[in-house]
Chains A and B, each alone.
Chain A
Amino acid sequence: MKIKFILNGKKTVVDVPGGMRLIDLLREKLNLTGTREGCGKGECGACTVLLDGKPVNSCLILAAQVDGRDILTIEGLQKGDSLDPVQRAYIDTAAVQCGFCTSGFILATKSLLNENPDPLDEEIKRGIAGNLCRCTGYAKIFDAVKTAAEYIKEEN
């Protein structure tokens, strides 16, 4: 079936087979491979994208379900040549090791800070609770979220 949606700010029209998941549409049909598949079952968050601004697991949505909606993937986060403050924060705090989980964490962080620009430690934990990282031990990711909150404040 044909679906129309906004992908990273651009109107997109594609033909999708019925049982195709959003993650397959992104990675295989549209070559947006920044979105990763870890578990395929909603447990790891590597496939996180923002649907109308809210974090969702793209492994648990059919492509047909996003018709008419707005999707933001990691590829759509930077503005022109400048990285998003959340992306800069992850780099500056060295919160990335193998990087497999990073796109998902960055998007979860983005939506957390959109809703709550000044999260308490407990709120940061809740905000990234749907994302797993096997490398960093989370301490640096925690720093990245706090740094991102600072960067966003400085920009405003």
Chain B
Amino acid sequence: MLSDSEVIVPKNIDEILEVISKKKAAVIAGGTDLLVRIKSGITPPPKVIVALDKISSLHKIAKKGNRVIIGASATYNEILHSELIRDNFPHLVGAAAEVGSPQIRSRGTIGGNIVNASPAGDSIPPLYTLGAELVLRCINGERRVRIDKFIKGPGKTVLRKNELLTAIEIEIPRGKPYYFFKRLGTRRALAVAKVSAAGYIGIDKGIVEKAKIALGAVGPTVVYSHSVEKILLGKKLCEGIISSSAEVSKADCNPIDDIRSEANYRREMVGVLVRRGLTKILEEIDG
């Protein structure tokens, strides 16, 4: 027995919203963060646990106009197998493919990754580059918050006790977008990222007209590398620009020493990942 929690498995979203509006309850999606935290004694066993398992609508990945809507319970596996995500946001697929292990990818969800708000959460940097909007519902209605406004610190978000994250909405960029996701861990599987970087570059007539670069595991939250964005905008991507980008990106993060790595190493590696990511994009443009 993990705990003496009461567990409720509602059949529709309204019932879930009802429960979390009345009781102090913990939502469980895949459980790959929550149950580890309870087992390790980091989170005290909740009195009530509400499971999302029976809400199949929360797994849906669909296109609506020029937006892609990802249900909060979409698992990494479902993201990996979604043609819609593969065609539109390959760096999100790249990130999902790097998560944990087959077992974790079968259960872990994108919504759980976001609400868990770890600076090393793999889905988060790609979602930052896309300016993903989160749909938060409670019994009284819904609100929308952009992901970078949602996450406040490690494990801290603006989600209220009575709110459920139901979907992640992403506008499909116009024109021909280019993406990258790069990450370093101690080993290839079952290792949380030491450093990660994701990028979205929009190019019009050979000139960078949109640039979003997000860095993971190098601060209390995922951060944008605004200096790199500034260097790239209005220029033609080339080796020189990539070198300057890699150099300035190191100043855009605030890494710490911890059991996984050291601050100095992380800062250097941010530069390396930004260089690798932009080089991959340059090859795609030239290719």
Q: Are B40 and A41 in contact (CB under 8 A)?
A: yes
Given contacts A24-B1, A40-B39, contact A64 B103 (CB under 8 A): no
* A9 beta carbon closer than 8 Å to chain B: no
* A60 beta carbon closer than 8 Å to chain B: yes
* B259 beta carbon closer than 8 Å to chain A: no
| Chain B contact residues, majority secondary structure | loop
How many Å lie between the Cα of A102 and that of B77 in the bound state? 24
Binds A, one of B30-38, B171-179, B265-273, B277-285: B30-38
* A152 beta carbon closer than 8 Å to chain B: no
CB distance from A40 to the nearest CB of B (A): 5
How many Å lie between the Cα of A1 and that of B40 in the bound state? 25
* A42 beta carbon closer than 8 Å to chain B: yes
Given contacts A18-B6, A19-B7, A41-B36, contact A130 B1 (CB under 8 A): no
Taking CB atoms, residues of chain B closer than 8 Å to A41 are 36, 39-40
**Smallest CB-CB separation from A112: which chain B residue?**
B102
Of A19, A20, A125, A131, most B-chain CB atoms within 10 Å: A19
Q: How many residues of A contact B (CB 8 A)?
A: 35
Q: How many residues of B contact A (CB 8 A)?
A: 32
CB distance from B223 to the nearest CB of A (A): 28
Binds B, one of A47-55, A76-84, A89-97, A135-143: A47-55
CB distance from A118 to the nearest CB of B (A): 17
Q: Are A130 and B9 in contact (CB under 8 A)?
A: no
Taking CB atoms, residues of chain B closer than 8 Å to A19 are 1-5, 7, 45, 49
Taking CB atoms, residues of chain B closer than 8 Å to A68 are 54
Q: Are A62 and B101 in contact (CB under 8 A)?
A: no
Taking CB atoms, residues of chain A closer than 8 Å to B31 are 60-62, 65
Taking CB atoms, residues of chain A closer than 8 Å to B158 are none
Given contacts A18-B4, A19-B7, A41-B39, contact A60 B188 (CB under 8 A): no
Given contacts A1-B7, A57-B104, contact A21 B77 (CB under 8 A): no
Taking CB atoms, residues of chain B closer than 8 Å to A111 are 102
Given contacts A45-B101, A111-B102, contact A56 B107 (CB under 8 A): yes
Q: Are B101 and A64 in contact (CB under 8 A)?
A: no
* B62 beta carbon closer than 8 Å to chain A: no
Q: Are B102 and A62 in contact (CB under 8 A)?
A: no
Q: Are B188 and A129 in contact (CB under 8 A)?
A: yes
Given contacts A20-B1, A129-B189, contact A67 B103 (CB under 8 A): no
Interface residues of A in 120-138 (CB under 8 A from B): 125-127, 129-131
* B100 beta carbon closer than 8 Å to chain A: yes
Taking CB atoms, residues of chain B closer than 8 Å to A126 are 102, 189
How many Å lie between the Cα of A149 and that of B102 in the bound state? 19
How many Å lie between the Cα of A131 and that of B190 in the bound state? 10
Taking CB atoms, residues of chain A closer than 8 Å to B102 are 54-55, 108, 111-112, 126-127, 129-130
* B106 beta carbon closer than 8 Å to chain A: yes
How many Å lie between the Cα of A60 and that of B35 in the bound state? 6
* B51 beta carbon closer than 8 Å to chain A: yes
How many Å lie between the Cα of A111 and that of B2 in the bound state? 27
Interface residues of B in 16-39 (CB under 8 A from A): 28, 30-32, 35-36, 39
Residues of A within 8 A of B (CB): 1, 17-21, 24, 40-43, 45, 48, 51, 54-57, 59-62, 64-65, 67-68, 108, 111-112, 125-127, 129-131
- Can you list 7 A-B contacts (CB < 8 A)? A18-B3, A19-B2, A21-B35, A62-B28, A62-B31, A62-B51, A64-B7
Residues of B within 8 A of A (CB): 1-7, 9, 28, 30-32, 35-36, 39-40, 45, 49, 51, 53-54, 77, 100-104, 106-107, 188-190
